[in-house]
Homo-oligomer: A and B are copies of this chain.
Amino acid sequence: MCLISQAEVQSFIERCMIAVGTKPHHARSLAEVLVEGDRRGHYSHGLNRMDMYVKDIKTGICAKDGEPVIEKESAATALVDGKNLLGPVVGNFCMDLAIKKAKEVGIGWVVAHGSNHYGIAGYYAMQALKENMIGMSFTNTSPLVVPTRGKECTLGTNPISVAAPAKHGDSFVLDMATSAVALGKIELHDRRGDSIPEGWGCDPQGKLTTDPGRVLKGGGLLPIGGSEATGGYKGYGLGMMVEVFCGILAGAEYSRNVRKWKETNRVANLGQCFVAINPENFAPGFSDRMSDLLSIQRGLDPSDPDSPVLAAGDPERANMAKCEAMGGISYHLNVVNFMVSAGAVRDKWPHFAFGVRKHWQ
């Protein structure tokens, strides 16, 4: 493991992206989302994925030039063409627009087509917290989830994020895939030779399996709830709901038409949805009630004394506090080495951009 300051990771990602031709302000947007993913402990959506964005820009499958464009607009809604720009560029544009509308009429509901992977969904939802608003964000993604009773992947892990402000900077931040778990968790168990709990995935025949290898080879992830008996059809319904808000409402790719995971030979054309809701337009005292709601849950007597009851966003808050205390983000050395080597492909890239602060193991 090694510890790298947030500013150094940010700058490294920016420089790598600029080196392949990304506009500096687009590179900054992407770096901010990825660093936030790492700070929150979602390493699968941080530096770890930088090579994918580098490749997208390098091959031209993702656009370098231009800005998102509003195609249709009302006081409370907008349809945006993301112009195939980097996901975070589209996401920031849309979320800013949603917040602007929510300031005026209490809500902004903005959907985009022509977008790309945008990192953690929570990043956009959380932008609304700065304005004391509720924020939401949804995106469709490559098909990895098998609908209840089926055996083919026709939905992505389609995340739902909802952030709501409480008092003194506290907040509720839900940021969840509508699959039982992320693909990365299955891969991790497979690499370690461990079995997976029943309810995470199915085999190529659509049968529940505890063998991660069968999930990865022709099977798929299960929706939240697992089997039909334990309520998996609800997770399937939620994945469909996200698709309605994203691919269907925006007129982007949807369902099994979304390009496959790690397929980069065609434009992604993802659909995404961004919402801001202004509590000022509803009952007074919103943040007081939010704080009380969070206190009720956090103050519960836990079933296991060593595992306190948490609210959505608390594990991420703990990870950020850890980063703060250590003065940086800790990465596996091989992630850093891989990214540095990816960065060394072209001469003008930073050869060893990282100032490794601390080194252990």
- Chain A residues close to B by CB (< 8 Å): 72, 74-77, 79, 105-107, 109, 111, 113, 134, 147-152, 154, 160, 162, 164, 172, 174, 176, 180-181, 197-200, 202, 205-207, 224-226, 229-231, 233-238, 240-241, 243-244, 247-251, 254-256, 277-279, 281-286, 289-290, 293, 296-297, 300-304, 307-312
Contact = CB atoms under 8 A, between A and B. Distances in A.
Q: Lowest 5 CB-CB distances: which A-B pairs, in order?
A: A251-B283, A206-B303, A77-B106, A76-B76, A237-B312
A82 B290 CA distance: 22
Contact of A74 (B106, B151, B250, B290): B106
Given A74-B105, A244-B164, A248-B289, A238 B282 contact: no
A310 B149 contact: yes
A110 to B, nearest CB: 9
B149 A207 contact: no
A309 B233 CA distance: 10
Nearest to A256: B296
Contacts of A311: 240
A224 B229 contact: no
Given A150-B297, A151-B303, A79 B281 contact: yes
A264 B249 CA distance: 42
For the complex formed by this chain, how many copies does it contain in all? 2
B106 A109 contact: yes
A165 to B, nearest CB: 10
B151 A300 contact: yes
A231 B281 contact: no
Contacts of A281: 72, 74, 77, 79
A174 B241 contact: yes
